[in-house]
């Protein structure tokens, strides 16, 4: 099942973008955007994926202003109401997607949930990505003992069953959004570190790097200017897959009781809360958050796939 952090598919080698002159790079990237646009429109699925993701992002950013109700306001009298019911007095649909076991509006909770789930996903990937990239760059560039140490640390973490690590850290640190992000980030960094390290190693032997060194450029400059830009492409691909995987992992953790506290709505949490109502026929409790998760994760996967194909020079002719 999903243990976040490990790359779901192997990555092809991507062609280096030589960032010698700023203007040249700029020119290069303009045509790249155009190519991207054409490609994505031609392959229809990624376009849908992009639309869905933009919508989810919109929900995440502007959710609180759209959501009709307080997601945490509970009202026992209104519990377990089915969706799409028109309130006789007001003539409107009071609870668009129904209410949950505490009478909270599912629609509002899903909107707020978008915010937290996506925030947690993105934050975990950014933190993990940052740490991992740094580790990978350093390990790849300097090699030797530093490389060994970092790689051993990575191995040690991989050897530790991820879910056990997560549970242990959460039990010790306590539940909460911040700790959750930390834990999920810990699960991520190894993937980034490995890929970045691989790319860095293959880049550092190139002539232009030699040239820069001869010209007296410091290691930091070389890493930042020469090597890092080449690492960005594979990173974005992994990042998109990993956001998907983190969202799924958060759902699993909520199921095990380790996610965010019940007052913080996340898609995984709402889905997990539905488990005692399933046999009772309250299908909307599981279907709506489930669909939200699946659509988002699916879109991220499709987009990631497209990104990988798009950035792979060998497939460019297809």
Partner 1 sequence: MWIYIARRLAQSIIVILGVTVLAFLTLHLAGDPTYLYVSERASEEEITDARQRLGFDRPLGEQYLRYIGGLLQGDFGTSLRARKPAIDLVLERLPATLELTFFALILSLTLAIPIGIISAMRRGTAVDGGVMLLAMLGQSIPGFWLGLMLVLFVGLQLRFLPISGHVPFLQPLLDGDINTALTNLPQTIRHLILPGITVGVFSLSRNARLVRSSMLEVLSLDYIQTARSKGLPERAVVLRHALRNALIPIVTLVGLEFGFLLSGVVIAETIFSWPGVGRLVFNAINQRDIPLVQTAVVLFSFMFVGLNLIVDLIYAQLDPRIRLN
Partner 2 sequence: MARTRFLIVVVLALLAFVLPASAQTPDDTTLVIAQSVDVGALEPALVGSRAESNIFGHVFGTLYEITETGVLSPYLATGYTISEDGTEWTFTLNEGLTCHDGEALTAEDVAYTFTRAADPANAFTGNTVGFVLPSAGYVDARADSELEVTIVTDRAQSESLRLGLLSEVYIHCKDYYEATDVATVAENPIGSGTYRFVEWVRDDYVLIEKVEGFTLRDAVFNQIYWRVIPEASTRVAELIAGNVDVIANVPPDQVDAVNNSGVAMVQGVAGTRRMYVGFQFGEAFADAPGYEPIQNTDVRVALQYAVDVPTICATLLGTECTRAASMVNDPNSNPNLTPYPYDPAEAERLLDEAGYPRGDNGIRFEITMMGPRGRYLNDANVVQALAQYLTDVGVQTTVDIRDWSSDYLPLVRAKEIGPLFFLGTGGSTWSALYDMADLSAPDAGTNYTNWANEEWFSLWDQTAGLDPAAESAVKDQMLEVFYNDPPWLLLYFQPDFYGVSDRLNWQARRDEKIVMYGATLNP
Among 275, 280, 313, 316, binds partner 1 (CB under 8 A): 275
Query: Of the ranges 17-25, 68-76, 135-143, 297-305, which one interacts with partner 1 (CB under 8 A)?
Result: 297-305
Largest CA distance in the chain: 80
231, 297, 307, 311: which one binds partner 1 (CB under 8 A): 297
Residue 67 or 183: which CB sits closer to partner 1? 183
Closest to 191 in 3D by CA, of 118, 128, 119? 128
Q: Which of 25, 96, 167, 232 contacts partner 1 by CB under 8 A? A: 167
Q: Which of 164, 214, 215, 220 binds partner 1 (CB under 8 A)?
A: 164
Q: Say if residues 250 and 289 touch (Cβ distance below 8 Å).
A: no
Given a contact cutoff of 8 angstroms between Cβ atoms, the answer to whether 108 and 69 are in contact is yes
Which DSSP state fits 249?
H
Residue closer to partner 1, measured from CB, 20 or 278: 278
In contact, 269 and 259? CB cutoff 8 Å: yes
Residues near partner 2, by CB under 8 A: 72-77, 79-80, 101-102, 171, 174-175, 257-258, 261-263, 275-282
**Distance between terminal CA atoms of the chain?**
33
Residue among 160 and 208 whose Cβ is closer to partner 1: 160
Tokens at 243, concatenated = 């956001």
Count, residues in the chain: 318
User: Contact with partner 1 (CB under 8 A): which of 19, 80, 96, 158?
Assistant: 158
- Measured from the CB atom, the residue of 90 and 263 that comes closer to partner 2 is 263
CB-nearer residue toward partner 1: 229 or 262 = 262
Coil, strand or helix at 99: strand
Q: Residue written as tokens 């993937």?
A: 191
Using the rule CB under 8 A, give the single segment among 1-9, 64-72, 192-200, 212-220 that binds partner 1: 1-9
- Residue 102: name its binding partner from partner 2, partner 1, none (Cβ under 5 to 8 Å by kind): partner 2
Is 143 exposed, middle or buried (CB count within 10 Å of its CB: 0-12, 13-18, 19+)?
Answer: middle
Nearest to partner 1 of 51, 278 (CB atom) = 278
Does residue 298 touch partner 1 according to CB under 8 A? yes
10 part of the interface to partner 1, by CB under 8 A: yes
104 versus 204: smaller Cβ distance to partner 2 = 104
Question: Under a CB-based contact definition with an 8 Å cutoff, are residues 250 and 120 in contact?
Answer: yes
Among 120, 272, 285, 307, binds partner 1 (CB under 8 A): 272
Give the number of other Cβ atoms within 10 Å of residue 111's Cβ. 24
Among 77, 72, 130, which Cα is nearest to 105's? 72
Give Cβ neighbours of residue 253 (< 8 Å, ≥ 6 apart). 166, 170, 180, 259, 268
DSSP 76: G
Q: In the complex, which residues of this chain contact partner 1 (CB under 8 A)?
A: 1-3, 6, 8-10, 12, 152-153, 155-156, 158-164, 167-168, 171-172, 244, 248, 251-252, 255-256, 268, 271-272, 275, 278-279, 286, 290, 293-294, 297-298, 301-302, 305
């Amino acid at each position: 099942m999903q243990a976040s952090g490990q790359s779901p598919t192997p990555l092809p080698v991507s062609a280096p973008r030589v960032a010698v002159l700023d203007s040249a790079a700029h020119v290069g990237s303009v045509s790249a955007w155009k190519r991207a646009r054409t490609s994505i429109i031609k392959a229809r699925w990624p376009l849908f994926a992009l639309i869905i993701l933009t919508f989810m992002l919109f929900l995440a950013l502007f959710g609180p202003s759209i959501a009709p109700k307080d997601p945490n306001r509970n009202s026992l009298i209104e519990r377990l109401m089915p969706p799409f019911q028109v309130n006789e007095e007001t003539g409107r649909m009071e609870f668009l997607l129904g209410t949950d076991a505490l009478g909270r509006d599912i629609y509002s909770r899903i909107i707020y949930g978008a915010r937290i789930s996506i925030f947690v996903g993105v934050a975990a990937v950014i933190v993990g990505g940052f740490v991992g990239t740094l580790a990978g760059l350093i390990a790849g560039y300097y090699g030797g003992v530093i490389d060994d140490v970092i790689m051993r640390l990575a191995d040690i973490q991989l050897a530790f069953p991820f879910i056990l690590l997560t549970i242990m850290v959460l039990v010790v640190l306590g539940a909460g959004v911040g700790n959750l992000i930390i834990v999920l980030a810990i699960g991520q960094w190894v993937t980034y570190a490995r890929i970045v390290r691989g790319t860095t190693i293959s880049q550092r032997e190139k002539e232009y790097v030699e040239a820069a060194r001869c010209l007296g450029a410091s290691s930091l400059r070389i890493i930042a200017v020469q090597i890092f830009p080449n690492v960005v492409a594979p990173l974005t691909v992994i990042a998109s897959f990993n956001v998907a995987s983190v969202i799924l992992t958060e759902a699993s953790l909520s199921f095990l009781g380790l996610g965010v506290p019940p007052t913080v709505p996340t898609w995984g949490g709402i889905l997990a809360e539905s488990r005692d109502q399933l046999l009772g026929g309250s299908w909307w409790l599981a279907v709506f958050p489930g669909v939200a998760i699946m659509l988002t994760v699916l879109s991220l996967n499709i987009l990631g796939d497209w990104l990988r194909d798009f950035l792979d020079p060998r497939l460019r002719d297809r």
